[in-house]
Amino acid sequence: MEEKYLPMFEVGPCEDAYHLGFLIGQRFSKQIRSRLATDLILQNQLRPFAQTHPQSQPLIKALSDANRNKLPRYWDELLGTAEGSGVSVLDLILLNFRKEILPFVPNTAKNSKVDTADDCSDVLVVSDSMAVAAHNEDANVALVGHTYLIRATLSNGLSFTAYTYAGELPSCAFGFNNHGLAFTLNSVPPTEDEIAAGGIGRNFISRDLLEAISMDDALTRIHSSEASVGHSYNLIDTRARRILNVETASRNRVSVREVGEIPFFHANMYLHLQVQQVHDESSISRRKRAALLPKESKTDFLSLLGDTDNAKYPIYMAGPILYTLCTTVVDLDEQTLSIIEGNPKEGQVTHVFLISDKELNITQQKCSAS
C-alpha cells in the first residue's frame, strides 16, 4: 500500500554514518526500489553507459575515489543506504552522480524528452517588511511518489531536516538544521567544457551544507568543494536574517549575491557567474514571466510560483515530463519552513517546521537494526 502523504523518518543519533544510511535505506526500501524500476534516465542512459561504454569505468572510479576521500562519512552513508534498501551500490552511485555523469553519455543514447532530471524556481527577498525564500521543487516524472523527509540527529548534537529523493543523499532539494541555516537549490547547465570530470558531486556538497553551523561555514564548504558540475545555492540564515544566492562552477569558481529588498528570481541558468552555459528556454521563459508578476507579499510569491500562463514553459509544472513535486517557503521572521503540495496558489500547507533548537530536540528513533 502506497503512502498517500510525504513520509517522514526521524532517526539518530547513530553510531556511524553507515548505520544512519542503512536505517534510511531500510525504512524507504520500497520507494528506492520503485524509483530504480521506473526511472527512465537510469534505465535508458546511466545503466547502459556504465555497463558498455569504455569511458564509464574510469569516470565512475574517479568520482567514487574523489568523493570517498574528501567526504568519507557521506560515502559511507550512501553505502549504508544501498545495503539497507537491498539495491546495488552502482545504482545509487549512478543516481547520486547523475549530473556528473550525464554530460559524458553519448548523444546517441540521449532523449531530449527525458533528459531533464530537475528544474526549480526560486523567488527571494529580504526587505524591511518581509524576508522570504519561496521555492518550487521541480523534477522528472520518475520522482513523483519517490521523495521523503529525513529528520536526523547526529552524535555531535546537530540536527537537520531534509527533503530527499529516494536513493539519494539528503538533500539535493532543500533542508535546514538547528543552527538556523537553510538552503534551496537550483541546477544550472554549464557546457561540457566547464565540467571537471571526477570532481566532487553536487549531492555530496549539499549533504555537507546540512552540517554547516553558520553562513560563513556554509560559504567555506562551498568555496572548498572542488565541484565537478556547477550549481546555484540559496543560503538562508534565519538568525541573521540574510539570504545569499551563490552560483558555482568547476575549478572552485564562485559568485555570491546578497538578496535585498528587490525580489530576486532564479531558475536554472547562471545569472551572475560568468560561465559558458547551455541555452535553457524553460528558464528564460520562466524568468521573463516572473518579471511581469507582482512580488509585494508572500501571497504574491506563491501566486508567482503557481503560475501556468505559459503552457509550454509554465513556472508551476504539471507534466507530462516535469512536475512540481512541492513548494517550500522559508519565512525568516517567523523562523519557519513550510511545505505546500499541489499548486501553491491554493495554499495547501502539509508541513510546518520551526527552525529552532527546541523544534529539533525531540525524541527520535535511536539507531537500531531491529
Model confidence at 78, pLDDT cuts 50, 70, 90, reads very high
The per-residue pLDDT for range 151-197, each reduced to its tens digit, is 999 999 999 999 999 999 999 999 999 999 999 999 998 898 999 99
The confidence score (pLDDT) of residue 359 equals: 46
Q: What is residue 277's DSSP assignment?
A: B
pLDDT at 360: 43
* Cα within 13 Å of Cα(337), Cβ side: 27
> Helix 72-85 and helix 56-70: axis angle, to 10°?
120
**Cα dihedral: 89, 75, 197, 107 (round 10):** 30
Q: Is the pLDDT of residue 139 over 50?
A: yes
Domain ranges of the chain: 8-109
Q: Which of 1.10.510, 1.10.439, 3.40.1130, 1.10.357 would CATH assign to domain 8-109?
A: 1.10.439
Lowest mean pLDDT among 16-25, 140-149, 239-248, 354-363: 354-363
Cα–Cα distance, 171 to 258 (Å, whole number):
23
271-320 pLDDT, tens digit each: 999 999 999 999 999 999 999 999 999 999 999 999 999 999 999 999 99
Predicted TM-score (pTM) of the model is: 0.94
In percent, the amount of the chain with pLDDT more than 70 equals 92
User: Does residue 148 sit in helix, strand or coil?
Assistant: strand
Q: 214 pLDDT exceeds 90?
A: yes
Per-residue DSSP letter, 170: S
Contacts of 107 (CB under 8 A, 6+ apart): none
Positive or negative torsion for Cα 115, 317, 295, 172 = negative
Q: How many CB atoms are located within 10 Å of the residue 165 CB?
A: 26
The radius of gyration of the chain's CA atoms, rounded to the nearest angstrom, is 19
- The predicted structure's pLDDT at residue 110: 53
